[in-house]
Structure 1
Amino acid sequence: MSKLVYLMLAFIGMAVTSCDGHHPEPDMGMKIGDVLCTDGQILPMEAWQKSGKEGIGIVFHVNTDPEVEGRGYAVYLNDLEPLAFADSLGIKQGTSADVYALDGNQNTYALMSQRNVGSPMADAVFELWRYGQSAYIPSVAQLRLLKETRSSINKGIEAIGGVSISDTPDGCWYWSSTEVAGQETAKAWLYSLSQGAIQETPKTQNHKIRPIITIYD
């Protein structure tokens, strides 16, 4: 299937499904720290340890707002290597530039779709797609949610074979998928998953990325 078709699926909100095409039964008791499996099932850590399933992420936010898409978010087990937001400056890449919007999926779609400038970090996230699950680069607002639960989920990330989210002064800065309003052609926001600070940053600089996934019924 072409990359463009995959992008359209992500933009409209692709459900997490099992690899054989069947939808898992929704777990209405999903909690922060639960394991997202490659077949789309959400399991408590204890149940996952007995299941023999492969974990792909840890739930870090459970959505209680009916106006917000999805049941919540899971974070990937590992950082991506430091990469640039854009391969050149001077072009808006079409993100909302709204630091309060939970729109990382739409922002990542915009970065991938821009024909006049490439996004090395968005291309790297696209390569993660498998098992019918679409990873994307979180927005500033979604990184805020991740920061709130970072300490409590790090143990779970390590338990299923991942690398904990850094809180060191040098290692805590991650790209968001949000451009800086009024400076969209040149800068995007870095976010500190230690302090919760944001920093305007030239888009051609290389920084870490921690992808997330929206969980659907």
Structure 2
Amino acid sequence: MSRVIYMDYAATTPVDPRVAHRMSGCLLVEGNFGNPASRSHVYGWRAEEAVEEARGQVAALLNADPREIVWTSGATESDNLAIKGVAAGSRRRHLVTSRIEHKAVIDTCRFLETQGFEVTWLNPGSDGRVSADAVAAVLRPDTLLVSLMHVNNETGVINDLAAIGAVCRSAGVLFHTDAAQSAGKVPIDVRTMPVDLISLSAHKM
């Protein structure tokens, strides 16, 4: 069989052999297979240590506090948790996103429209990006959240999170970004970047 050149890394990536080796040690009875929530025996203790080590590694990637890292099944669940979690119980009923977001964000915002939220759907500029000025122009006193991706999964354009986040901060609006395409490829520092919620996915790295 001829060697295949795979060019769809924006959709998913093969697991790095080093990661596969570490993960294989968590699947078999001879390895670290325990439930990390089981605090009454050594198998659970070892599993918890492995989970917390991984949490620290993800935090280091973002310059975040490990306590800020929440595990989900992937970016779709992470997007849903971030957006719906912020919306739950809020008196502010206005959200801002764009028409070129990942389906996970679009579907979540469409669902919230059925729950009485109003969503402003921004169009990208001629360069494919959503500008901070475009965001600033649609913010309102009842705006709760802006959700815009960092790197677009189809075009590869990079939104200026620093500028967009600064606009949100000055208006007292939360800012969520889906960084599934950028994490591990573009530097992300949540200590200096004005982002409140960020979604990642391991299978893109």
**TM-score relative to the length of structure 1:** 0.26
| Larger RCO (alpha carbons 8 Å, 6+ apart) | 1
Identify the structure with the greater helix proportion.
Answer: 2
Larger Rg: 2
Identify the structure with the greater strand proportion.
Answer: 1
